[in-house]
Structure 1
Amino acid sequence: MKQWWLTVYAPGFLLGFVGVAAWWVGYRAGAAMWLVPGLGVAIVLSGLAERCWPYDPAFNQGQNDGGRDSVHALVNEGLNLLAIGAIPLVAAWMPWQLWPRQWSFAGQLLLAIVVADLGITLVHYASHRWAWLWRLHAVHHSVTRMYGFNGLMKHPLHQTAEALGGVLPLLLLGMPYPVAAVLAFAIAIQLLLQHSNVAMRPGWLGKLMAWAPLHRFHHMRYGTAGDVNFGLFLTVWDHLLGTAFDADYRMRVDDLGIGSQPDYPKDYKGQLLAPFRALPHGEAPPPPPGLERSSR
């Protein structure tokens, strides 16, 4: 029974929450604001699953980071709400309408997810190569344990950069407000799964979807070793970029973080200001046996 549950956990979690959101907003024309408590339910269930079936019990041990991560989540999801609320204004300003409104809502949502996934992945990829973007993105990489809430922990300016890369093309096409609302909800649900501490075993779907078993390698502290598995939803972009990576290696607390900056600020204010300060750097440790391939 446990094996079956761990197999269906990730696809069931994603399809269940996003499916209900699409039904409510897209097919019942329900108020998108109900997605906010829906995300709260998803966060609670994610935390409960991590307690019941942890990948590593050590990842469930708080590091005085619960309050900080909560502020990150509230700020970033609040910015998402403001951005979604502005979409009707943007749509009214657009002189053209290229969005395929004749498609079913499910088809429109799938299109939005694929396009946003590509844009966000490319911004993510650039964030590991352009120093000014990395300084913003480093906030997210400073975590030293992996649990679902980590997915919502980002510097607000970096979240804005990712949103522009992923959503701006959709807005220029005329993406409707309901699709944008469910897209934002789907991204938040996927981020919970990417950083989850559940010992999920999604089988062949885990090779197609960028869930925690692959994304944990992206958070390695060994210099450029973590420049792998950039995709948000799909792994196809990493295969095209040549950055796909998997290994028979069990990630631990000691493998996570920023190896060249072990004293990176841990409080919210410090992380908000960190990209604009000259922080001390050192040499990143080499990857241990089993992870060397990722640094090539």
Structure 2
Amino acid sequence: MKKIMAWVYAPLFWLGFIGWALWLVQMDAPLWLGLVFVAAVAVSFIAEWYLPYEPQWNRNQGDRRRDMIHALVNEALNALGLLILPVLTALLAFDGVWPRAWPLWAQLLLAIFIADAGITLMHYASHRVAALWRLHAVHHSVQRLYGFNGLMKHPLHQMLEATAGLAPLILLGIPTEVALLLALAIAVQLLLQHSNVDMRLGPLRWVFAWAPVHRFHHMKYGRAGDVNFGLFFNLWDWLLGTAFYSHDYSMAQGDLGIGSRPDFPLEYMAQLRDPFRTVQLSKEPPLPTDLR
């Protein structure tokens, strides 16, 4: 049973929850999308308990309360953005550009593709521009990967990424219902991308930026983690020359975080202040032989 789950978990999770959300919007019940997100979080935690990639990552390391605060704050910011979206679209959109005649699922795929490009490029820039990195470092400070880590971001960086992904869509006149579905799809994708489920992807690892691929991005060994920036798809990493995957190295406790910041603050408020204070960097840990 566990072998079957390892192969079907990621595609069923992605298609199941996004498909459920599509059905709710088509049934004119978008207010129930919150239930879809709660159910996705619950399934994510149950699956991580049943089939963990690294059992130690399931244990609270003094970070669970902080990660929940990050998730609540950032999802609240997303909700606020969705509330003002119709106003922004009315003011800024080029009339008639968005393909409203397309089926809803096709509109969602188009929105995912465009948002993914913007968010990925902002993510890439956040590893190249010092001011952006100081904000993004909060996300990279995690010592373990599990579903909630995807929502653990400095709120200022969250807004920058959201702007990079949504601005082109606003100019194109994205409908509110498609934007609601996109927000849910991003949340589902983040749960999968940072999941602690021991999933198997096969050829899908060349397409989707799910956990087995994204874990390499969180390595603490200096520039070794400057790979796999994509949110939804690996296409952008192939174009940027930053795609990486290895069968020969398994992530474990101690591989993650920021190597030059082993003392990165753990508490929520301290993490909010961290980008604006002077820090002392330590020597980077050496790259494991199997990764060289």
TM-score by length of 2: 0.97
What do the CA deviations read for 1:120-173 (whole angstroms, capped 9, x no partner)?
000000000000000000000000001011001000000111111111100010
Q: Deviations over 1:68-117 (max 9, x none)?
A: 00000000000000001111111222363210101110110000000000
Aligned length: 290
**Residues 106, 95 of structure 1: alpha-carbon distance in 2 compared, 3 angstrom cutoff:** closer
- The answer to whether structure 1 residue 262 and structure 2 residue 262 are counterparts is yes
For the 8 Å contact 1:9–1:202, the answer to whether it is kept is: no
* Partner Cα distance (1:91, 1:132) in 2: 29
- Give the equivalent residue in structure 2 for 1:44: 42
Task: Give the CA deviation at 1:41.
Answer: 1.3
Mapped to 1, the partners of 2:77 and 2:161 lie a distance apart of 13
**Conserved? CA contact 2:145–2:194, under 8 Å:** yes
Q: How does 1:20-31 map to 2 (within 5 A)?
A: 20-25=20-25, 27-31=26-30
1:202 shift after superposition: 1.7
In the TM superposition, what is the alpha-carbon distance from 1:233 to its structure 2 partner?
0.6
Distance 1:280 1:94 in 2: 43
1:224-244 Cα offsets, whole Å, 9 max, x none, are 110000000101110110000
CA-CA distance at 1:23 after TM superposition: 1.4
Q: Which residue of 1 aligns with 2:16?
A: 16
Aligned match of 1:138: 137
Residue in 2 aligned with 1:120? Answer: 119
2:52 aligned partner: 54
Q: Which residue of 2 aligns with 1:168?
A: 167
After TM superposition, the structure 1 = structure 2 runs for residues 151-230 of structure 1, keeping only pairs within 5 Å, are 151-230=150-229
Deviations 1:28-77 (A, max 9, x none): 1213x321222111111100100000001011111111100000000000
What are structure 2's unaligned runs of at least 5 residues? none
1:275 aligns with 2:275: yes
> Matches of 2:276 and 2:174 in 1, distance apart?
34
For the residues of structure 2 that align with 1:2 and 1:69, how far apart are their CA atoms? 28
Sequence identity, in percent?
58
SS of residue in 1 equivalent to 2:191:
helix
CA distance in 2, matches of 1:122, 1:291: 25
Identify the match of residue 67 of structure 1 among 48, 62, 65: 65
Contact 2:140 2:258 in 1 (8 A): yes
Cα deviation for residue 215 of structure 1 reads 0.4
- Aligned residue number for residue 289 of structure 2: 289
Distance 1:63 1:280 in 2: 24
TM-score by length of 1: 0.96
Counterpart Cα distance in 2 of 1:96 and 1:122? 23
SS in structure 2 of the partner of residue 86 of structure 1: helix
| Distance in 2 of aligned mates of 1:235 and 1:93 | 33
Query: Mind listing any 5+ residue stretches in structure 1 that lack a counterpart?
Result: none
CA–CA separation in structure 2 for the residues paired with 1:96 and 1:229? 33
Q: 1:157 is matched by which residue type in structure 2?
A: L
